[in-house]
Amino acid sequence: MDDPTPTPGSPSAPGTKPTIRDIARASGVSVATVSRVTHDDPRVTRATKERVQEAIDRLGYRPSALGRALSYRRTNTLGIVLPGLGGPYFAALIEGAESVAVERGVAINVLGTHLRPDAAASVRQLAERTDGLIIAGGTLPATELAALASAGRVVLVAGDHESIPTVAVDGRTAAAELTAHLIEIHGHRRLRFVGEPAGSPDTAARYEGFTDALAAHDLVEAGEPLRLGLDVRSGGLAARELHDAGVLPDALVCANDELAIGLLATLPGLGHRIPRDVAITGFDDHALAEIASPRLTTVHQPIEDLGARAAAYALADDGGLPQRTVLPTRLVIRESCGCTETDASAPPQEADR
């Protein structure tokens, strides 16, 4: 009573957000009781609870996530590190992770490194404010990954590291099967890979599968891989480059669907019919793959599942995570490889693994 406040419920300063102590003062209880009310603790009397709740509503109090996080020693936040947000692949990955995050009340924090040189510093900063990190393969050097993993929970997606749990797909085998299909079913002999194997572990695996299949059939690659980005525009570039070079290979195995779609859209304008003059395959099973003409033969990847699984691991309470989790892919035979629509409906083509 030695401090005569005009309205007992007013927060310390008018412009400021009320804190738990403001609520305590306003409702004449201690901070512990306020905290109990916000946690629905059964130990607090109905009458007290109502009084506190009234003050909370009146002053518009919301517990600070920061204060909570500090006290709990966990942030309820999951970090995802990607090279960038472009393209449907990463969007699907994020949505997969998000689906498991929301059901646990965990927020998602996305960081695009964009190959920035200071990416490692940003990731470390991110690690400081998250409970776990999902990192896309190829975004950070192995030593940096090791450092992050030693400080907290890290899960790799579509990458590989000797000691960090990884969720991936067997892109190598899938690419080998796809390539074998082109060779065995369609009799193609001169194949070429489109994509930069050094660009990402995913592309590298696909390229390895491609050369595996070539080697298994005693073929040599029809030229170096066309080292390009993974976007539609690069597909257009590839088309022009191939056209200018004169004779085209029998088939082009593209590192992803967007590249393939760029080729699909550009080659006919340059006088090359698909699949008659050149067969084309993609990877990912993009929404456009089914709609492109000709419809794109590709490999379906459960990208959202990858994200979901990675998130589940990153948020798991117990240790003992499997070192490597491999999710199945599915060959999707459509027309761009040379199959006709009736072929495509035949069961043996859709090999599940």
Stretch in the footprint of a copy of itself (CB under 8 A) among 29-37, 90-98, 161-169, 182-190: 90-98
Query: Which tokens sit at 38?
Result: 């916000």
Which of a copy of itself, DNA, none is residue 44 near (CB under 5 to 8 Å by kind)?
DNA
- Which residues from 248-287 bind a copy of itself, rule CB under 8 A? 261-262, 265-266, 268-269, 287
Residues 325, 254, 353, 102: is their CA dihedral positive or negative?
positive
- Note whether 346 binds a copy of itself by CB under 8 A: no
> Which listed residue (1, 5, 7, 16) binds DNA by CB under 7 A?
16
33 binds, among a copy of itself, DNA, none (CB under 5 to 8 A by kind): DNA
Q: What is the dihedral of CA 125, 126, 130, 134, to 10 degrees?
A: -140
129 binds a copy of itself (CB under 8 A): yes
- Burial letters 97-123, b for 16+ CB under 10 A, else e: bbebbeeeebebebbbbeeeeebbeeb
Give the other-Cβ count within 10 Å of 141's Cβ.
11
Alpha-carbon span 325 to 170, nearest angstrom:
10
Residue 122 touches which member of DNA, a copy of itself, none, C-beta under 5-8 Å by kind: a copy of itself
Strand-pair partners of 111: 81
Rounded to the nearest 5°, which phi and psi values hold at 43?
Answer: -75, -10
Q: How far is the CB of 13 from DNA (least distance, A)?
A: 9
DSSP 28: T
Instruction: Give the 3-state secondary structure of residue 272.
Output: coil
SS3 166: strand
Task: Write the interaction track for DNA spanning residues 66-105; mark x where CB under 7 A is met and - where it is not.
Answer: xxx-xxxx--------------------------------
C-beta of 197 vs 236, nearer to a copy of itself? 236
Reduced 3-state DSSP string for 282-350:
CCECCHHHHCCCCCCEEEECCHHHHHHHHHHHHHCCCCCCCCEEEECCEEECCCCCCCCHHHHHCHHHC
Give the residue among 227, 174, 222 at the shortest CA–CA distance from 196: 227
Q: What binding mask, one character per residue, do residues 34-73 give for DNA by CB under 7 A, x or -?
A: -xx-xx---xxx-xx------------xxxx-xxx-xxxx
Nearer to a copy of itself, 127 or 299 (CB): 127
Under the criterion CB under 7 A, does residue 276 sit at the interface with DNA? no
Residues that bind a copy of itself (CB under 8 A): 17, 60, 62-67, 69-70, 75, 77, 84-88, 90-91, 94-95, 98, 102, 107-112, 114, 116, 122, 124-126, 128-129, 151, 231-233, 235-236, 261-262, 265-266, 268-269, 287-288, 291-293
Task: Write out the residues near DNA by the rule CB under 7 A.
Answer: 16-17, 19-21, 28-33, 35-36, 38-39, 43-45, 47-48, 61-64, 66-68, 70-73
